[in-house]
Amino acid sequence: MPTLELVVPSPDAPRWLPLAASQPADLKLSVPVEILFGETADIARFVANFLESKRVDGKVTVPGLQTANRKNAKLRFDDKTATDTLSLMATCQAAQTRYKLTVPASGSGDTRERAHGDLDELTSALELIFDDGVEDEHDRQLAQLDQEHGETSNDDTLAAALADYAGLARQPEVYAELTELSEQGGFELAVVERCEGHVNALRMLPAAPRPKDPAALEAFEQRNRLVNLLQQQVRLIRAGARWVFRKQPTIARQATSAYDRRKRAEARRKKAAQAPVS
């Protein structure tokens, strides 16, 4: 059986594998793997943009993430934090690729990950075009969908979310704005059609099996350990951002997870539904 160090063909693997060895062998994620990868890239850009405090005439107007640094902190913000986070993500991606190459090609996992990725892309685009400072019917509709689809952990709930968000995107005024965003290079319009296509595909999928082949299981567990380490890194960055920008919620929101926001909205909806009527 290959040693741990040889499993992942990534130049940064020797650095991250020892740190990942103490992580759980099962995934402990609040978001799908591919969503985590996308959000990691976003959070790395956030760190790069808000690492240092911004000043005007010598006065701090926007604090920097470096102000969150404390003695013995699990994560210290410096000029390497963003690149280190991307380095860890690249190692996770290499491990993910190797795992996929060791398991039979059923296509189920890929379908789910693509569906989650397209849903996240579509909801982010909808949030962007509706964030115009004016509360209108489209804002209400999006908020309603966020409440209804905060939980997409299984194929049925994911398919329902895809269908509803794609339906909102197909409204003529909304689709026109998405088309304009696409022409500006900020969005791939084909995402809407892909979301619609994922709906039936997801409803036909069987449950994802755990690998039985020893090599596949080893690759699976190593991928999991690395991804768990990556999620820990992202959570530490977000914790720092929440504290630093606690008085600037607009900035703080940039470091949060759109996927987690949907889950929290669903939790609030369920709690409200269970509350006794007076």
Binned average pLDDT, 10 residues per bin, the chain of 278 residues? 46 91 85 83 95 95 95 92 96 89 67 88 91 81 83 77 93 94 88 92 71 85 94 96 95 87 65 66
- Closest to 228 (Cα-Cα) out of 15, 30, 7: 30
- Closest to 84 (Cα-Cα) out of 221, 218, 236: 236
Do 2 and 99 fall into the same domain?
yes
Do 223 and 97 fall into the same domain?
yes
* Amino acid 104: pLDDT: 65
Domain boundary among 208, 235, 266: 208
Q: Is 148 within the bounds of a domain? A: yes
Q: Is the pTM of this model over 0.95?
A: no
* Amino acid 6: pLDDT: 38
Do 62 and 196 fall into the same domain?
no
Q: In which residue are the tokens 């380095």 written? A: 87
What does the mean pLDDT of the chain come to?
A: 85
Angle at 265 between CA 261 and CA 267, to 5 degrees: 115
Q: Is 273 within the bounds of a domain? A: no
Domain that includes residue 58, residue range: 1-103+211-254
Q: Is 265 within the bounds of a domain? A: no
Q: Is 264 within the bounds of a domain? A: no
* Amino acid 269: pLDDT: 62
129 neighbors 174 (Cβ within 8 angstroms): yes
Do 143 and 236 fall into the same domain?
no
Do 113 and 204 fall into the same domain?
yes
Q: Is 24 within the bounds of a domain? A: yes
Q: Is 95 within the bounds of a domain? A: yes
| Span 7-60, pLDDT tens digits | 455 788 889 999 999 999 988 777 778 778 889 999 999 999 999 999 999 999
Tally of domains within the chain: 2
Q: Is 278 within the bounds of a domain? A: no
